[in-house]
């Protein structure tokens, strides 16, 4: 792609020597200010030959021509995928973004640079799929994996050494909503071992609310299946990096294994991410109100937007919002089951980040593959209910939840207000059944 010489000063080459869209160019000329994220999300300059408003889908495996041309084979590169990668790099405050077929695909690409004998320090409350992959690498790849309580900086520091090759973090965790100090751990890891790669799973926050690279991490990655897409209609994984050499190593893996995101899914994600700001704002506002509603009814609620969260200040210092996932405990597994089965708007489903509100019991669903003893060890309450709040009307959501609480016997309606009952008080009745679903 050629760049008119007039804007040469704004030219921003990526590591392959491709021109990035002149971002944040159009916002710069008058006052040098960068566009706000909500604007960057919808602003794209694809450089399309016909100035198409929507980036075209290059549904082609091959591109004709001789050596040296920009695209030849879609496993190695595709114009629709490139458009998405350039757009995402801008959104993630990264020099380079790479998109692959799922969030776990991204985690695989990142951990593939590990060699036998390498040491990974990570959390004890990880996403189930991440835990499964690390366990595989430990068993079959000769990698040492140290699971520690990453909410405690001194415990992480004690686990770090010159041998630490990678630190893999997730914050907030789910469903326990534990917060990890990205900046503190990144500094400590680089101090212990300058070559150490700090990778952060940013799925729960999305780049709209948190930018791990700005906090000192070397790699940020996330499942595009969640907030970035927002509609549960595709699977994708995104990796963001600033260090050129790391980008090259990850690209090598993607080209070698063929996990780059397909053109159609790249297009869908380009479309979905445009509404990230409005979706996240609305979901977060709803989540905050629901967290307050449940807390005021006497439930133990975990949500980083609540002042009662023990790590409220830490989360607030590294993120621009609390997100839209919260969890609460009822004191009884049977009662929780009845609540989950009694909601109508909150659909029973694994995953989160979709425009629809979802409800689940992690111990029965997403975390069912973790054996009960380990769940207990990790203090994962068996009765915990996770809510992933969508963009529906808040009154309808609160109403749905209130009715479920009443039907389940968790609260009693007296006049206009709800009174929390003891868990054992009431027999419930259910219309739906809780599925036992293995970790996807």
Shortest Å, Cβ 355 to ligand PLP: 16
Phi and psi based region of residue 131 (left: phi greater than 0; alpha: psi -120 to 50; beta: remaining):
alpha
407 catalytically annotated: no
Shortest Å, Cβ 112 to ligand PLP: 15
Q: Which of 81, 90, 226, 279 is catalytic?
A: 226
Q: Write the CB contacts of 431 (distance below 8 Å, at least 6 apart in sequence).
A: 341, 342
Shortest Å, Cβ 369 to ligand PLP: 14
Q: Which of 34, 48, 72, 75 is catalytic?
A: 75
CB closer to ligand PLP out of 234 and 405:
234
Q: Which of 96, 108, 118, 127 is catalytic?
A: 127
Two tokens, residue 365: 């669903």
The residue among 249, 251, 167, 253 whose CA lies nearest residue 216 is: 167
201 catalytically annotated: yes
Phi and psi based region of residue 331 (left: phi greater than 0; alpha: psi -120 to 50; beta: remaining):
left
CB closer to ligand PLP out of 58 and 221:
221
Which residues make up the interface to ligand PLP (CB under 6 A)? 102-104, 127, 129-130, 170, 201, 203-204, 223, 225-226, 235, 237
Can you list the alpha helix ranges (DSSP code H) found in 97-242? 103-111, 128-140, 153-159, 182-192
Shortest Å, Cβ 120 to ligand PLP: 16
CB closer to ligand PLP out of 351 and 434:
351
Shortest Å, Cβ 35 to ligand PLP: 28
H-run or E-run covering 201: strand 197-201
Shortest Å, Cβ 291 to ligand PLP: 19
The residue among 62, 112, 134, 139 whose CA lies nearest residue 257 is: 112
CB closer to ligand PLP out of 127 and 328:
127
Cα-trace Rg, the chain: 23
Two tokens, residue 135: 């366990």
412 catalytically annotated: no
CB closer to ligand PLP out of 79 and 224:
224
50 catalytically annotated: no
Q: Are 218 and 197 in contact (CB under 8 A)?
A: yes
Ranked by CB distance to ligand PLP, the top (closest) residue is 103
Other CB atoms closer than 10 Å to residue 140's CB: what's the count?
A: 9
Q: Which of 118, 124, 125, 201 is catalytic?
A: 201
Other CB atoms closer than 10 Å to residue 43's CB: what's the count?
A: 16
Q: Are 389 and 421 in contact (CB under 8 A)?
A: no
DSSP 8-state symbol, 36: P
Tell me the catalytic residues: 75, 127, 201, 226
């Amino acid at each position: 792609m050629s760049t008119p010489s007039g804007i040469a000063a704004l030219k921003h080459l990526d590591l392959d020597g491709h021109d990035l869209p002149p971002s944040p160019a159009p916002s710069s000329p008058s006052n040098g200010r960068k566009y706000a994220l909500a604007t960057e999300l919808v602003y794209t300059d694809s450089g399309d030959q016909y100035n198409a408003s929507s980036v075209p889908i290059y549904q082609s495996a091959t591109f004709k021509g001789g050596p040296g041309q920009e695209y030849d084979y879609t496993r190695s590169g595709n114009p629709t995928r490139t458009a998405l990668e350039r757009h995402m790099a801008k959104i993630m405050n990264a020099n380079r973004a790479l998109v692959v077929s799922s969030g776990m695909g991204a985690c695989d690409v990142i951990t593939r640079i590990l060699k036998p004998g390498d040491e990974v320090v990570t959390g004890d409350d990880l996403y189930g799929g991440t835990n499964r992959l690390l366990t595989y690498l430990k068993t079959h790849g000769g990698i040492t994996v140290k699971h520690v309580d990453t909410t405690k900086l001194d415990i992480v520091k004690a686990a770090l050494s010159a041998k630490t090759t990678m630190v893999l973090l997730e914050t907030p965790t789910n469903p326990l909503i534990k917060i990890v100090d990205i900046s503190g751990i990144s500094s400590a890891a680089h101090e212990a071992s300058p070559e150490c790669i700090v990778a952060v799973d940013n799925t729960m926050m999305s780049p709209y609310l948190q930018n791990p690279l700005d906090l000192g991490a070397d790699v940020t990655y996330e499942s595009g299946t969640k907030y970035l897409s927002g509609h549960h209609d595709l699977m994708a994984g995104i990796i963001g990096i600033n260090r050129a050499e790391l980008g090259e190593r990850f690209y090598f893996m993607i080209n070698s294994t063929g996990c780059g995101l397909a053109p159609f899914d790249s297009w869908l994600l380009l479309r979905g991410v445009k509404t990230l700001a409005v979706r996240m704002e609305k979901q977060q506002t709803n989540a905050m109100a629901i967290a307050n509603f449940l807390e005021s009814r006497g439930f133990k609620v975990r949500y980083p937007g609540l002042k009662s969260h023990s790590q409220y200040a830490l989360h607030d210092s590294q993120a621009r919002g609390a997100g839209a996932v919260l969890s609460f405990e009822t004191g009884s597994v049977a009662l929780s089951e009845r609540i989950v089965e009694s909601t109508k708007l909150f659909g029973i489903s694994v995953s989160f980040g979709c425009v629809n509100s979802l409800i689940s019991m992690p111990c029965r669903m997403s975390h069912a593959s973790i054996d009960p003893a380990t769940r207990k060890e990790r203090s994962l309450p068996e009765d915990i209910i996770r809510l992933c709040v969508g963009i529906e009307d808040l009154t309808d959501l609160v109403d749905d939840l209130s009715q479920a609480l009443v039907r389940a016997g968790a609260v009693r309606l007296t006049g206009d207000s709800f009174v929390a009952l003891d868990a054992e008080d009431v027999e419930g009745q259910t219309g739906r059944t809780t599925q036992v679903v293995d970790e996807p």
